[in-house]
Amino acid sequence: MTTHKKPIRSYVRREGRMTPKQKKALENLWPQYGLDYQNSVFDFKQIFAREAPTIIEIGFGMGHSLAHLALRHPENNYIGIEVHRPGVGALLAEIEENKIANIRIICHDAIEVLENCVADESIDSLLLFFPDPWPKKRHHKRRIVQPIFAELILTKLKSNGQFHMATDWQEYAEQMLEVMSANPGFINLAGTQQFLPRPESRPMTKFEKRGERLGHNVWDLVFIKVSQ
């Protein structure tokens, strides 16, 4: 008898209560801005009706930073991946309020999306801001930044594509640095074993502002896929 181990997820669904605004946005706007998970590659050129740099953010939370980026850079196409429906509803509402045309949303596990829905060498940049640090040692295996994840995104990024990470958890930042530095397909934009000063390109979130007031540090890392 063959047994199949369940994949280790980097998240736990904590749906919480959706506000009426989020629920309405999810019901009314998903057909226009949502992408249902599929076992085949998305054609982003067709989805956006244009060819443009493609940026993917994993775990966009309530979506404020992603909306900010899309408004600031209309020349880019943005794909947001988030498993929590209240956050999806919140971003959909913000998309409508600000008439944002260059965002699409996928509500599904990011690993499966990258594996099955994203063509190899098709992403210009991947963003991972403040992922769950899973602070207890026995839960570290749930952290999304692992060697196998680094290999996966290496196949999806274009040559010279960027993987930008940010965390306010120092021990996780050090793990991110170790994992990414060990992959010969990437180089550290800040230099060997270095973190970046906070890039102006990364929007300041409410979460980060609150952490700043509490004296929390934030560590940024940008790794570039080595040109083939």
What's the token pair of residue 191? Answer: 């230099």
Strand order in the sheet with 219-225: 103-106, 77-81, 54-58, 123-129, 157-167, 219-225, 186-188
Active site residue 132: yes
CA atoms within 13 A on the CB side of 158: 10
Other CB atoms closer than 10 Å to residue 137's CB: what's the count? Answer: 8
List the catalytic residue out of 109, 124, 132, 168: 132
Burial 90-121 (b: 16+ CB within 10 A, else e): bbbbbbeeeebebbbbbbbbbbebbeebbeee
What's the token pair of residue 197? Answer: 């000063």
Catalytic (active-site) positions: 132
